[in-house]
Amino acid sequence: MGRHAKNDQPSNGTTTSTAPDSQINHSAALAYWSSTEPTVNGVLGGYPEVSRVDLQGSNNFLAKLRRGGNAQSSLPAPPRKLRRAVDCGAGIGRITTGLLVKVAEKVDIVEPVVQFTDVVKGQEGVGEVYNIGLEDWRPRKEGGTEYDLIWNQWCVGQLTDAQLVAYLKRLPGVLSVGGWIVVKENLSTSGEDVFDETDSSVTRTDAKFRALFEEAGLRLVKTEVQKGMPADLYPVQSYALQPK
Ligand SMILES: C[S@@+](CC[C@H](N)C(=O)[O-])C[C@H]1O[C@@H](n2cnc3c(N)ncnc32)[C@H](O)[C@@H]1O
């Protein structure tokens, strides 16, 4: 996700001539995250207090999505839980334990850093744990894995634009009919994507996200800005997507 704070943007962030995402280096990103303490403070880059408001906002967003479900949907109707969800780029499972296990029977985890997933592995409601980057994750329907909800938060900036589109294109293959892909990320407000060398990630603009979703063949079902975030942080936006 890069740093949260807007004023942490590098001063030359908007003048670089190379595409910001071309500077992403996965080894550097993993070196950074592997040396980060496995706590909420660690995965949120020093703003642990935003977690509660973030989880509350996500819970509301999801409740609205579920209420708006359509007749073709294969999803269990509320108040029944979703069957299976997956927390992608999950870190220590902050969202898994704070939200997803409450709304789904089983939650799988995709996260490259083992010392993060060690925190959440084996907890109630946690299913498979895949220690791999999203760019390398090849989820398959064989064995009955199908997700009602695929949650991606504060992690897709670790992927280049091309990797993100390729990843998003793979997801409908394991998404239930009527299920959602949620992307919740910081937004760049400078008019351009911004590279952050701290964790070797990019912070994208809203326009870039929408263009990449379109390129991946996904339809934007619902989008919302997270309310109640401190004013000195990047705005945070949730996007719910379905295959076209
Ligand atoms: C800012 S933390 C967010 C963690 C979690 N989503 C949350 O909101 O609490 C970013 C996470 O992305 C993970 N990450 C780094 N590179 C990744 C990649 N290529 N694919 C998936 N996750 C990655 C990091 O290890 C870290 O756990």
pLDDT (tens digit per residue) in 193-205: 999 999 999 999 9
Q: Is 3 in the pocket of ligand 1 (CB under 6 A)?
A: no
- Report the DSSP beta bridge partners of residue 223: 239
What is the pLDDT confidence band of residue 5, given thresholds at 50, 70 and 90? Answer: low
Q: Using alpha carbons only, what angle is made at residue 207 by residues 239 and 89, rounded to the nearest 5 degrees?
A: 45
Q: Is 89 annotated as a binding residue?
A: yes
User: Which of 163, 165, 89, 98 is closest to 129 using CA atoms?
Assistant: 89
Coil/strand/helix, residue 21? helix
Q: Ligand 1 center to residue 92 CA distance, Å? A: 9
Q: Is 42 annotated as a binding residue?
A: no
User: Which of 137, 131, 62 is closest to 103 using CA atoms?
Assistant: 62
CATH homologous superfamily of 20-69+81-243 equals Vaccinia Virus protein VP39 (3.40.50.150)
pLDDT (tens digit per residue) in 204-239: 999 999 999 999 999 999 999 999 999 999 999 999
- pLDDT at position 142 is 75
Determine the average pLDDT of the residues in 55-69.
Answer: 94
Coil/strand/helix, residue 239? strand
Atom of ligand 1 nearest to the CA of 26: 19
Q: Is 191 annotated as a binding residue?
A: no
- Report the DSSP beta bridge partners of residue 113: none
Q: Ligand 1 center to residue 154 CA distance, Å? A: 6
Q: Ligand 1 center to residue 96 CA distance, Å? A: 13
Q: What does pLDDT average to over the chain?
A: 93
Judged by phi (left if over 0) then psi (alpha if -120 to 50, else beta), residue 31 lies in: alpha
Residue with structure tokens 């109640």?
228
